[in-house]
Amino acid sequence: MLDKTGIAKRIAKEIKDGYYVNLGIGIPTLVANYIPEHIDVVLQSENGLLGMGPFPFEGEEDPDVINAGKQTITMLPGSAVFDSAMSFGMIRSKKVNLTILGAMEVSENGDIANWKIPGKMVKGMGGAMDLVASAENIIVAMQHVNKAGESKLLPNCTLPLTGVNCVKKIVTELAVLDVLPEGGFKLLERAPGVSVEEIIKATAGKLIIEGEIPEMMI
């Protein structure tokens, strides 16, 4: 199965030339390190930056240059810095082609829960609700099961929702799956060394399997 870096590498293959892409907190931030050199994309950080680059090397960090998760980042030539009002104006007016988010749960009809576990302290919603309400293409980077081994791909989310019927694709440590418009997780690829049977066992929601499922290429 994949580690977090492997998930990020696989998602990077979904980014197309000319895209404007928003990277959420967690695994999605790693995607910036693995965008193919021949692909020209602009990464947006919702705290007010267009032109985000990969993470800096140790010793080259600038504490004033951070992403929405407060991690130090780099800025590429031609990048622009602006306020949150401008940033969310871009998001709400659908200028972002692709949003990559982490999630605690995703339902088989594309609902996402990624901001709160009842009874636990949270910093707030952040920009997640604006992103899922405005983005036309959302890919989720997440673990297939929780620490107790329970599936996070469910018939219905049990945690407070961030957005409804919005997730298009999911990449986990086990698989790549499409969320179908009519409902259900369609299995597209399996992680190296992972069997279809393992994915079936780890998926609580409706899983659709058609034909031979290829092993993903990283």
Judge whether 189 counts as a catalytic residue: no
Using CA atoms, how far apart are residues 204 and 172, in angstroms rounded to an integer? 14
CB-side neighbour CA atoms (13 Å) of 192: 7
**Comparing C-alpha atoms, which of 179, 117, 118, 131 is closest to residue 153?**
179
Amino acid at 79: S
What is the per-residue burial (b if ≥16 Cβ within 10 Å, else e) of 8-47?
Answer: bbbbbbbbeeebebbbbbbbbbbbbebbeeeeebbbbbbb
Using CA atoms, how far apart are residues 169 and 179, in angstroms rounded to an integer? 6
Task: Please tell me which residue in 46, 105, 108, 173 is annotated as part of the active site.
Answer: 46
- Contact indicator for 99, 14 with CB cutoff of 8 Å: no
**Cβ of 186: how many Cβ atoms within 10 Å?**
15
Residue 36 CB contacts under 8 Å (≥ 6 apart), including other chains: 12, 13
* Active-site residue list: 46
